[in-house]
Amino acid sequence: MDRTDIIYNLAEILNCSALKYEPLSKHTTFKIGGAADTYVRVTSLSKLSAIIKECMDSDVDFMIIGNGSNILAPDEGYHGVVIRLDGDFRKISLVDEDTIYCGAGATLAALCKFASRCGLSGLEFAWGIPGTVGGAVFMNAGAYGGEMKDVVYSVNHLTYDGEAGRTEKDDLEMGYRTSVYRGKKAVITGVTLKLKKDDPENIRARMDDYMGRRSSKQPLDYPSAGSVFKRPEGAFAGALIQQCGLKGKCHGDAQVSEKHAGFIINKNKATANDVKSLIREVQTKVFDETGYNLECELIIL
């Protein structure tokens, strides 16, 4: 019996949706990835704690997945349990006149809409980023001069040992595409955000402006995982890649976008190996020609 069958059976007992051999291509914005042995949607903190405890006790590998917008899943799949936060983890509520509590499984889009309806400003930069709130905090997502660290007040989590805890703003160590959670054996479960009151029409106008900029500059009509590389100090990854004549470069159906060289797109049926080969070629050529070492922002599982 596959060890993940233990988790699958527990998920059914807990009334969590569970699937065997679920293609990760269905759960990543790249539309790439083989099957996970078991895929579970967890709907409450107590159920998440039970699933993680059983994974730890049974020595079963597991990972938390958000919207799958910043990951490249392997062609051979994932030999373990993939956990998606759902139910309670997608709820958003107003705490007071300028404070929102949001479950980690909610999308940034849902959070931005909620904030704008409440007349709360500060999240406009995140409108159009295709991730979940937990993932955005984990990597300190940002755009157009804004970052999650600007609005996050505290973060709730569940350790792999099953202890619920909270990290305050000053201890989050949020930097460029990183946070304390990158090195923490814990699952982000919810986020408290402090925003500023503003007219909903002004907020919406800024959101529309940012979305217009995204649409005009980014290849949103193809599956991708957003910006592949971190911004190197003193330069821009996309500009360096374009400078090296790599716009439109392909490996199989993976292509450096002709619209924005910082993106790699899935033109049709790209594999993870296609993408990885293309990343290596881009990194090598950019380093050889410019001296810049491009570091992946994309998480390669």
* Inside any domain, residue 73: yes
* Inside any domain, residue 154: yes
Q: Considering just the CA atoms, what is the radius of gyration of the chain in Å?
A: 20
CB under 8 Å to 286, separation ≥6 — which residues? 240, 241, 244, 246, 292, 294
* Inside any domain, residue 209: no
Inform me whether the pLDDT recorded for 1 exceeds 70.
no
pTM, rounded to two decimals? 0.94
* Inside any domain, residue 255: yes
The pLDDT of residue 149 is 97
Inform me whether the pLDDT recorded for 3 exceeds 90.
no
* Inside any domain, residue 213: no
Tell me the percentage of the chain whose pLDDT exceeds 90: 98
* Inside any domain, residue 28: yes
pLDDT tens digits, 233-262: 999 999 999 999 999 999 999 999 999 999
CATH of the domain at 135: 3.30.465.10
Q: Say which of 177, 179, 224, 257 is annotated catalytic.
A: 177
* Inside any domain, residue 19: yes
Q: Say which of 116, 179, 227, 257 is annotated catalytic.
A: 227
Q: How many domains, the chain? A: 3
**Domain end position, chosen among 87, 119, 143:** 87
The pLDDT of residue 134 is 97
* Inside any domain, residue 210: no
pLDDT tens digits, 77-128: 999 999 999 999 999 999 999 999 999 999 999 999 999 999 999 999 999 9
Domain assignment of residue 96, given as a range? 91-202
Per DSSP, what are the bridge partners of residue 187? Answer: 158
Q: 66 and 107: one domain?
A: no
Q: Say which of 54, 124, 147, 297 is annotated catalytic.
A: 297
Q: Which residues of 220-238 are buried (b: 16+ CB within 10 A; e: fewer)?
A: bebbbbbbbbebbeeeebb
The pLDDT of residue 232 is 95
Verify whether residue 177 is a known catalytic residue.
yes
**Domain end position, chosen among 35, 55, 87:** 87
Q: 119 and 194: one domain?
A: yes
The sign of the dihedral angle between the CA atoms of 184, 228, 42, 137 is positive
